[in-house]
Structure 1
Amino acid sequence: MPAEGPYRWFVYLEIALAVVTFIALCFVVAPYGRHGRAGWGSTVPARVGWIIMESPASLLFLLFYLFGENRAQLVPLVFLALWQVHYVYRAFVYPLLMRAGGRMPVSVMALAIAFNVLNTWVNARWISEYGSYPASWLADPRFLVGVVVFAAGFALNVGSDRILRRLRARGATGYRIPYGGGYRFVSSPNYLGEIVEWTGWAIATWSPAGFAFALYTFANLAPRAMSNHRWYHETFPDYPPTRKALIPWLV
């Protein structure tokens, strides 16, 4: 990590935010999706909220990346492509596939935007400026393992989203128990997939930026997965009793 300048302090800030976020979400469930409730101020349509809060992670990453001296090198370009695969899906494809009707508090959207600005800067600057990735990195075991883990997580994430969408017929409302895919084992395989993805990113980049993001992803999504698991059991008396919250056969 650069010994001078503000960069390392932004990495430390993201790690600190992970700790604060994990503690806070163990006591307060973020009020969107199935946990949506009044009392959190103005709201916007969930589809609009997702696009606004996630698009900076794609667009600003590209902008920050282009300021780096290593922006034209092969390995940084591969990392740019991996990042965009996830965030083009998350910011622009996923919201358009959502069923209309849900709403999201503006406060939740604003917090997500703030984090995405920080996280994109930390990761983009490392990839195209501060990190050192010769072409030989493509054959490094850390890169190879990390990309495989990233791809597996992305596939689990997208596949789990698809199962959830297909639970509802067009125009239907309410929630049902999902089955198949990762839902055979855990209540939130979409969250597990995203945690696995960014763990793979951390391994492939072997960077403090990647570690900070993977840590924050776990801190943000693990408590949410536990809340979802409790909600399913409280809502559906016939919910599969052997299904875990986040980690198959364990938690």
Structure 2
Amino acid sequence: MSILQELLFPPPPSLYITAMSVVGLVSLSYCGLAEVRGKHLQYSKFWNVQSKGKGKEGIKLSSRAGMLLLYTPAVVAGAASLAFYPSPSLRFWLLSWALTIHFLKRVLEVLFVHKYSGGMILDSAILISLSYFTATVNALYAQYLTVGTPEPHIDLKYAGIVVFLVGIAGNFYHHYLLSKLREKNDKGYKIPKGGLFNLVICPHYLFEILGFIGISCISQTVYASSFTIGTIGYLMGRSYATRKWYRAKFSNFPAEVKALIPFVF
């Protein structure tokens, strides 16, 4: 507990933020466990897994439309905090920029980088979009509640900027490699190569985790840390399911390629 007190602001005097810290951690971790058990959020290669053989499929979106729905509300929330709200502290300003850049990058990738092969179920799109939007708003509100309180004894915000930039750059690079796997109008899947794809099947998730760790270090709030831990749990489950999918689809999938962490997992 004393180590946490050195690293984090005290829990805020807000039952809402305290409750949402728990809800975010538990719900994201549960989604990660569900991925391991084969109950996937229906996007990317898993976009129609649950509905096959069932009468009710749900409303389908194109992948591009679904991905834009995922990220745009969070971009708007982050940009609004920069445009209309005077930053009460350097941390708040840095956090606003980090969250805005994180989700704006995703929107730009949806528009100009990603290539698509399937679609997305509306229910999954709404669930993920709400998660990102509420997480952005709650992270900013939790940061606002720290204004005027003593800073953590160990200042991580500058280290957090570095980790965030490494995460966002690595995530973009591996998304770019994925986009180069397909020629125009090619909708098939191939085993990714290059970068850390030679070691793990989801290096883009690994760098996404680094990005959220960077955001947590910039913020140093209980809420941001809880959301990051939950995100790690979800992406671990998603990467495990992704590796399992590739191994089932490709008989020549390299056994030494792990899911998320090189040589380990």
TM-score (norm 2): 0.84
Shift of 1:23: 2.7
Q: Which residue of 2 aligns with 1:12?
A: 22
SS at match of 1:104: strand
Aligned to 1:229, the other structure's residue is in SS state helix
8 Å Cα contact 2:34/2:237 also seen in 1:
no
Q: Give the Å deviation of 1:241.
A: 2.1
Residues 169-191 of structure 1 deviation map (CA, whole Å, 9 limit, x = unaligned) = 11212011111111121000011
- The residue type equivalent to 2:115 in the other structure is R
Mean Cα deviation higher: 94-103 or 106-115: 94-103
Tell whether the 8 Å contact from 1:194 to 1:217 is kept in structure 2 after alignment. Answer: no
- SS of the residue corresponding to residue 205 of structure 2 reads helix
Aligned mates of 2:81, 2:227 — CA distance in 1: 16
Residue identity matched to 1:83: L
Give 1:55 deviation, angstroms. 0.8
Which of 68, 72, 76 is 1:51 aligned to? 68
5+ long unaligned stretches in structure 1: none
Residues 15-47 of structure 1 deviation map (CA, whole Å, 9 limit, x = unaligned) = 221232233222212222112226241101110
SS in 2 for 1:6: helix
Contact 2:116 2:187 in 1 (8 A): no
Aligned residue pairs total: 245
Q: Report how far residue 249 of structure 1 moved.
A: 0.8
Conserved in 2, the CA contact under 8 Å of 1:46 and 1:103? yes
Shift, 1:71, TM fit = 1.8
- What is the one-letter code of the residue matched to 1:178? P
* Structure 1 stretch displaced more, 241-250 or 98-107: 98-107
Matched, 1:22 2:32: yes
Q: 1:64 to 1:9 in 2, by over 3 A?
A: farther
Q: Does 1:156 align with 2:170?
A: yes
Tell me, what secondary structure is at the counterpart of 2:40? coil
* Aligned partners of 1:156 and 1:182 also within 8 Å: no
Aligned counterpart, 2:219: 205
Of the three residues 77, 97, 105, the one matched with 1:89 is: 105
Residue 9 of structure 1 aligns to a residue whose secondary structure is helix
Write the mapping of 1:72-221 to structure 2, written as runs, cut at 5 A.
Answer: 72-90=88-106, 92-96=107-111, 97-127=113-143, 129-132=144-147, 141-221=155-235
How far apart, CA to CA, are the structure 1 residues paired with 2:137 and 2:249? 40
CA contact (8 A) 1:65 1:124 kept: no
8 Å CA contact 1:55, 1:87 repeated in 2: yes
Q: Pick closer, same or farther for the CA change 1:245–1:133 going to 2, 3 Å.
A: farther
**Cα deviation code 1:104-134 (max 9, x no counterpart):** 000111111221232122111123x112489
Change (3 A) 1:4 1:104: closer
> Per-residue CA shift, 1:69-88, capped at 9, x if unaligned?
x6254332222111111110
Any conservation in 2 of the 1:187–1:244 contact (CA below 8 Å)?
Answer: yes
Separation (CA, whole Å) in 2 of partners of 1:133 and 1:177: 51
Equivalent position of 2:8 in the other structure: none
The equivalent of 1:246 in structure 2 is: 260
Aligned to 1:32: 43
- Distance (whole Å) between structure 2 residues aligned to residue 226 and residue 65 of structure 1: 37
Identity %: 22
CA distance 1:157–1:4, shift in 2 (3 Å) = closer
Give the 3 Å change call, closer, same or farther, for CA 242–76 of structure 1 in structure 2: same
- 8 Å Cα contact 1:188/1:225 also seen in 2: yes
When residues 67 and 209 of structure 1 are mapped into structure 2, their CA distance, relative to the original with a 3 A threshold, is farther
Name structure 2 gaps, 5 residues minimum: 1-10, 52-56
- What code does the residue aligned with 2:73 have? P
Q: CA RMSD in A?
A: 2.3
The amino acid of 2:175's aligned partner reads: D
